[in-house]
Structure 1
Amino acid sequence: MTNRRQWAIVIGATLAVGVFLATIPTFRHFFDLGVYRGAVQSWLLHDGDLYRYRYQGTEYGFTYPPFAAIVFAPLAWTSWPVAVAAGLVVNAAMVGLLMRWYVLPALRSRGWTAWSVVPLVFLAFLLFEPSRDTFSYGQINLVLLVLVGADLRNLENNRLSGWGVGLAAAIKLTPAVFIGYLIIRRQYRAAATAVGTAAGATLITLLVAPDESRTFWTQALWDTQRVGRTEYVSNQSLHGVIARLQAPETAWLALVALVLAFWWWTARNADHRTGFALTGMVACLISPITWVHHLVWLLPALFLLIEQSLDRPRRLAAVLGAVALMSSSLVWLWWDKPFGWLSFPGSNAYVWVTIGLMIAVGYPTIRAATDRNRAELR
């Protein structure tokens, strides 16, 4: 393919994505960034209560641990345009790091030129709904993903491994599942470092903001209504599925147990890249609330499967089909009527994709372990 044709493809794709992003009805207007900024402004500049704050008259307020408010503190003195620009730059930088870690090595190993492929991959990030929402909400998901990814990339050779997982868990509770991953992999030093980092950040916050710390750990953390309605279609976790079916909570607990059993068996026997991918997906499935933008934790699995499928066209088409489905905003067709069996396939579509990806990533490990057991029996 000539350079002129490559440039034409990149420019055409950029224009198409630009038109799509300008016209889609799910642009979020940096809502979550507004919540972060408004909460810390109310807290630091107006002596307000961090967890009583509500953004622009809505029911939504600050839901993260108080350490996250310290991390977001600079937003209190930042104008809105600067805050939006900073959020976009930070998220774009995180995408750049992820491509450097996962995309460029795959391209170089096959002798492909990067300059024409990398812009297309970046455009794919903007189409993929979880990362698209992370950009347009002004969310912090990609930052947490990179923190954990940086930790696990050098797990075997870095005495400080665990700090990224601990810091991410102190900012937002969901990444704490990676401490469990470190434990089942017998990476006890890294697990202790992660626990120590999270505990240290939490204790420092307790000294700096004792009232806010007490409110969060004794009240706000347990008030699930502050986060949002469990049955809302954006909640693409197993708990969301059960809530939309109006089934008993015991059904959710049984599904969580099955997922954890699968994760324990596969992650403990897999390489760390596969373990990272599996743990990210498991975190999304077992969490009581997994909004669509939280599903950026599926990206390590998608990178892994796409790389493994580059020489297998049918499998690659299946993985790219999953990406296309999760770029379609399909679940929002049921945003006002998510209940009942008729909505069961469509309103939970991203949950089915997550389960499918988890099985696809874990299957080679299970097959290898089964083959070893058979060989030992012989």
Structure 2
Amino acid sequence: MGLRTLEARLLAFAPWLLGLSLLGHLTMVAFQTKMTMVDLMVYRNASPELFTGGLYEWRLKEFSDQFALPFTYPPFSALVFVPLSWVPWAVARWSWQLLSLACLWFVTHRSLRLVGSRDPRRAMLWTGLFVWVEPVRTTLNYGQINLVLAALLLGAMVSARSPVQGAGVGVAAGLKLTPAISGLYFLVTRRYRAAAWSVAAFFGTVAVAYAISPGLSNQYWFHLLGDASRVGPVGSAINQSLRGALSRTVGHDVGTGPVFLVAALVAAVLTGFALHAAVKARDTLAMIVAVQFLGLLVSPISWSHHWVWAVPALMWLVYAAGHRLATATAAAWLLATGSYLISFLLNAQPSIWVIPRPWHQSLLGWVYPAVGLLTLVTITVVLRQRADESEEDVEHPVDLLRE
């Protein structure tokens, strides 16, 4: 049975598969009241400290025997999270789960639309599957904001209106700095008005936070920004950035020294090739994936749950590429995210702060950065080959009169 036949059969049961998948997940939420959602607890419990001046001294000590979790986002994000503190914990956790699941469906559905698929059952099928892959699973378990940000960014970046595009990216960057990399998409597509709107929206979030708490704003922007150790252990297996992988390989935090700079340059060059090919092909999803992957690779810390951008990447690899290399890359992503390898590596380390580890664990700890780099190569190869084939068709048109 071919893949197309298998997919056709699965699509017939897509609503049922999605329903069972969501039921299984929500059942886990119902019976695991201490399942963590520790990040959501940080958002909720720390946000009122915006008005006391103690936001960045506050720590969540429950559920973590190795690292009392701090609030690490800009002050504006604390303001956005304040309403969570107005409702009981049960209401907050259930609301956040439902919002995150809706965002997962949106990201999957919009990605499929960008590759030309309009069958709603396909979005149902893949959403049901993605609930159980590691980046999404851990985002849901931790109560993280990744799916919300991904939906906000993807919806904004594909909008036809510059103010919407820019405002979405600017506000997302105001909530958490890493989405600022999305501005690169506006530059390579020459959407300068959208880029200007994004800058204005971002500084608008900064201004709002300064109006509420100048002291905390100064503390964040001039003292805490750039301190990766405050965010968490750089060398832990859960950090799937280039810096994390390199640090585990050499046995110490490489920081932003020459080793990291060379790796970041390689990632930037590969992204440049991918973006050039995607711009020439007018492939919007490929451009967005390339930009977001660059941000994940060069960020000091990219937890495995930050890699929810593997979802749109997989949709492009499966449905837009039509190439053996893309099939192999898609299989690599499914294996990497479906095997829960990062969770196993995390459990194997004696402490989240210990960087040196056995060579095989260091090698396996490259999984997301390695497949991320492979994805950039795949975008370049597939779209360049497609462009070459199109040029050959133009240069050597079929002589219809001979048929």
- The TM-score, its normalising length taken from structure 2, stands at 0.80
What is the 5 A alignment of 1:140-179?
A: 140-155=145-160, 158=162, 160-179=164-183
What is the 5 A alignment of 1:60-71?
A: 60-71=69-80
1:208-241: CA deviations, max 9, x gaps? 1111101111222233221111000000010001
Q: Distance in 1 between matches of 2:277 and 2:114?
A: 24
Q: Distance in 2 between matches of 1:180 and 1:225?
A: 27
Q: 1:146 to 1:303 in 2, by over 3 A?
A: same
SS in 2 for 1:186: coil
Q: Does 1:196 align with 2:200?
A: yes
Q: 1:275 matched to which residue of 2? A: 287
How large is the Cα RMSD of the aligned pairs?
3.5
1:33-59: CA deviations, max 9, x gaps? 011111013444xx3500000003552
1:86-105: CA deviations, max 9, x gaps? 11111111122223323367
Unaligned runs of 5+ in 1: none
Instruction: Give the deviation of 1:254 after TM superposition.
Output: 0.4
SS in 1 for 2:240: coil
- State which drifts further: 79-88 or 14-23: 14-23
1:215 to 214, 219, 225: 219
Q: Distance in 2 between matches of 1:217 and 1:132?
A: 32
Q: Distance in 1 between matches of 2:171 and 2:38?
A: 24
1:196-219: CA deviations, max 9, x gaps? 110111112111111110111122
Q: Distance in 2 between matches of 1:5 and 1:189?
A: 41
Q: 2:244 matched to which residue of 1? A: 240
1:182-207: CA deviations, max 9, x gaps? 22332211111111110111112111
Instruction: Give the deviation of 1:263 after TM superposition.
Output: 1.4
Q: Distance in 1 between matches of 2:384 and 2:116?
A: 28
Instruction: Give the deviation of 1:3 after TM superposition.
Output: 9.5
- State which drifts further: 47-56 or 311-320: 311-320
- The TM-score, its normalising length taken from structure 1, stands at 0.84
Q: 2:42 matched to which residue of 1? A: 35
Q: Distance in 2 between matches of 1:185 and 1:244?
A: 36
Q: Distance in 2 between matches of 1:12 and 1:282?
A: 31
Q: 2:400 matched to which residue of 1? A: none
SS in 1 for 2:357: coil
Instruction: Give the deviation of 1:282 after TM superposition.
Output: 1.0
Q: Does 1:264 align with 2:272?
A: yes
Instruction: Give the deviation of 1:373 after TM superposition.
Output: 10
Contact residue 21 and residue 128 of structure 2 kept, 8 A? no
Q: 1:322 matched to which residue of 2? A: 333
Contact residue 185 and residue 268 of structure 1 kept, 8 A? no
Amino acid at match of 1:348: W
Q: 2:379 matched to which residue of 1? A: 361
2:87 to 78, 92, 95: 78
Q: 1:55 matched to which residue of 2? A: 60
Contact residue 235 and residue 292 of structure 1 kept, 8 A? yes
Q: Does 1:89 align with 2:98?
A: yes
Q: 1:11 to 1:183 in 2, by over 3 A?
A: closer
Unaligned runs of 5+ in 2: 351-355, 394-403
- State which drifts further: 232-241 or 6-15: 6-15
2:363 to 334, 341, 345: 345
SS in 2 for 1:50: coil
SS in 1 for 2:108: helix
Q: Percent identity?
A: 27
Instruction: Give the deviation of 1:164 after TM superposition.
Output: 0.9
Instruction: Give the deviation of 1:368 after TM superposition.
Output: 5.6
